[in-house]
Structure 1
Amino acid sequence: MRQGDTGGPLVETARAKINLALHVTGRREDGYHLLDSLVVFPDIADRLTLEPANGLELRLEGRFASALDGPCQDNLILKAVRRFADMTGAATDVRLTLEKNLPVASGIGGGSADAAAAIRLMECFTGHTLARRQRLDLSLALGADVPVCLDRKPARMGGIGDRLAPAPAMPAAGIVLVNPLEAVSTPAVFRAMTTRDNPPLPDLPERFADLDALCAYLRDTRNDMQAAAETLCPAITAVIAALTALPEVMFARMSGSGATCFALCATDKETRIADTVAEAHPDWWIAAGRL
């Protein structure tokens, strides 16, 4: 988070949430699925700014602003601000501007990351720092991915998103995100799954010595939603094939419920991979960054 030297708007990035591994381990009686996931946050993000205003306002801009469905007042960012105000008594006289750089309904937690960024901005702007339990209650009320997005650190995420544990430090790595610009419904993917009581993640090491070690660990894990997502969106299969065909790519998989897929590589290779994929598939969304 930063603020201009002249006292300009507060600025926060809302980083994409990438499920390096995602095991579905069960389903509760209320229908919520139980997960065991290794989550990271590369430097590929939406951008949210906050400034004082007369009343609560949200402005949408950026490549994917028009893809946000429904009235602006129903946006998760505004829900986060209102719930924060209810919990703390803070005023909501703020104008928020979202630069929507991440595709919508794409398995990388963009809406959850935006809501988490709004909470962090409100804490800074109002001076009301939430206790850990308050943060968890507020973020879970907004969505299962919001708690991990609020912390924005590599984590092992369990339960319905309410059990978070620090992950081993990630090795230096480049990452490329690719989405064929086809939205995938998370509920539809869950309905298409044939098994929901799968084994959890293997035990995590204390540390990953290097990127080779991380990729070796990931090869023993899964994304239990990927097969179902590919039946609903065959373009995911094409994205994975395009990534794995490149010699610089060390590991590729779908993130979350899709359709965004990621490729891991050495830290000097991500731009070359992104350029190569973009040349062959100019209609796909492609972003390169670092873990």
Structure 2
Amino acid sequence: MIQGGEGEPVHVRAPAKINVFLSVGAVMGDGYHRVSTAYQAVSLYEDLRAWNSDDFTVSFTGSVDTSQLATDNSNLAIRAARLLAQHAGYQGGARLEVVKRVPIAGGMGGGSADAAAALVACDALWGLGLGRDELLALGARLGADVPFALVGGTAIGTGRGDELSPALAKGQYHWVLVLAEKGMSTPDVYRELDRHRERHADDIMPADPMPGIDADVLQALRAGEPAMLAEVLSNDLQAPAIHLNPQLGDVIELGEKNGALAGFVSGSGPTVAFLAADLDSALDLQIALSAARLTAVRASGPVHGARVVSSDR
């Protein structure tokens, strides 16, 4: 493992995620939902640097407005570092600096990426040498998306989304992401899903308490064909997210009119992800969406999970 000395940071890069498939089960007695999802890690990254310190602190820079982001002990990156120290019996702390590019409350797992990066960085910084399984178990205690941010690639998530199994997948996918100025509350979107299902109980099948992955999604991922995947992209949270923010539907319509194979709400929103046929199509789509005064960025996937960058840059 790489150990950071005095004044020498450990630099970790962690990816955002897209749920190319998300099936949400019926609400349970505890208010939570089981999910079945297909994750893909994409090349929109959080960069975290960690220095040795007597205490735990975090600060942010980057293209995302972080002025309202908590920097106290409620911050997920600090929680991750503290959890790791407690688990390992480490007595010191860490100063964390994050270059933030993944939208806050955007449905792309930015906070989870920060937590995964903090686990990997502090493990290296403190010379702990914990194994992958230990880090995954700690990640699952922090949030459902944290284990995937550690693993990356393409994977199937069940339970809360944190029970991972590898997905047989090949090929590279080109995405255009429309980032919103304001985030959405994940609990609010889930509550709206429950209300949506109640309102339309006579028209839709009852939700399965134990949802599964559509076999056509697995087949499309194995084939590595964007057009096949576009036909089976699905997100149970899309309808409630659009109900809460109708503009998302307009963005999807605009992107599909400008050449996207398919567009959908990422996770609980409000980021909208468009799958493009190839790099040239993604460039054209990004230009068209930007011309409509939307914040559009390109990304590709799948990419690796959180890992130490070999040279600090």
Report the count of equivalent residues. Answer: 285
Residues 146 and 162 in structure 2, CA contact (< 8 A), matched pair in contact too: no
- The answer to which of 173-182 and 203-212 deviates more is 203-212
Give the whole-Å Cα distance in 1 for the aligned partners of 2:171 and 2:152. 16
- In structure 2, list runs of 5 or more residues that go unmatched: 198-205, 302-313
Q: Within 5 Å, give how 1:230-269 maps onto structure 2.
A: 230-247=242-259, 249-265=260-276, 266-269=278-281
Higher relative contact order (CA 8 A, sep 6+): 2
CA distance in 2, matches of 1:207, 1:185: 29
Which amino acid is 1:263 matched to?
F
The corresponding residue for 1:191 is 191
Give the letter aligned to residue 288 of structure 1: R
For residue 272 of structure 1, the aligned residue among 280, 284, 287 is 284
Distance across 2 between alignment mates of 1:84 and 1:45: 22
For the pair 1:157 / 2:160, whether they are aligned, the reply is: no
Pick from 224, 227, 231 the counterpart of residue 236 of structure 2. 224
Distance 1:275 1:2 in 2: 41
* Alpha-carbon distance between aligned partners in 1 of 2:130 and 2:30, rounded to the nearest angstrom: 28
> Matches of 2:265 and 2:170 in 1, distance apart?
19
CA contact (8 A) 2:3 2:124 kept: no
CA RMSD of aligned residues (A): 2.5
The separation in 1 between residues aligned to 2:297 and 2:42, in whole angstroms, is: 10
Distance 2:291 2:279 in 1: 21
- Residue 30 of structure 1 aligns to a residue whose secondary structure is coil
State the alpha-carbon separation in 1 of the partners of residues 184 and 104 from structure 2: 9
Aligned mates of 1:63, 1:220 — CA distance in 2: 32
Label 1:250 to 1:231 Cα distance change in 2 as closer, same or farther (>3 A): same
| Equivalent residue number for residue 209 of structure 1 | 223
Aligned mates of 1:150, 1:28 — CA distance in 2: 28
Matched, 1:38 2:42: no
Aligned residues: percent identity? 31
Cα pair distance change 1:67/1:231, threshold 3 Å:
farther
CA distance in 2, matches of 1:206, 1:237: 25
| Distance in structure 1 (CA, Å) of the matches to 2:65 and 2:52 | 22
| Counterpart mapping for 1:145-184 below 5 A | 145-184=145-184
Please say if residues 19 and 39 of structure 1, whose CA atoms lie closer than 8 Å, have aligned partners that are also in contact. yes
TM-score, reference length from structure 1? 0.89
Deviates more, 1:124-133 or 1:72-81: 124-133
C-alpha contact 1:174 1:289 (8 A) present in aligned 2: yes
* Corresponding residue of 2:305: none
Residues 217-226 or 84-93, more deviating? 217-226
**Corresponding position of 1:64:** 64
Question: One-letter code of the match for 2:243?
Answer: T
- In structure 2, C-alpha distance between the alignment counterparts of 1:48 and 1:102, rounded to whole Å: 12
- Runs of 4+ aligned residues of structure 1 deviating over 4 Å after TM superposition are 1-4
Residues 189, 207 of structure 1: alpha-carbon distance in 2 compared, 3 angstrom cutoff: closer
Aligned equivalents of 1:245, 1:3: Cα separation in 2? 50
Shift of 1:268: 3.2
Residues in 1 aligned to 2:59 and 2:69: alpha-carbon distance in whole angstroms: 14
> Structure 1 residues 224 and 208, CA, compared in 2 at 3 Å: closer, same or farther?
same
Cα distance in 2 for partners of 1:37, 1:218 equals 16
Structure 1 counterpart of 2:123, which letter? E
Which runs of 5 or more structure 1 residues have no equivalent in the other structure?
none
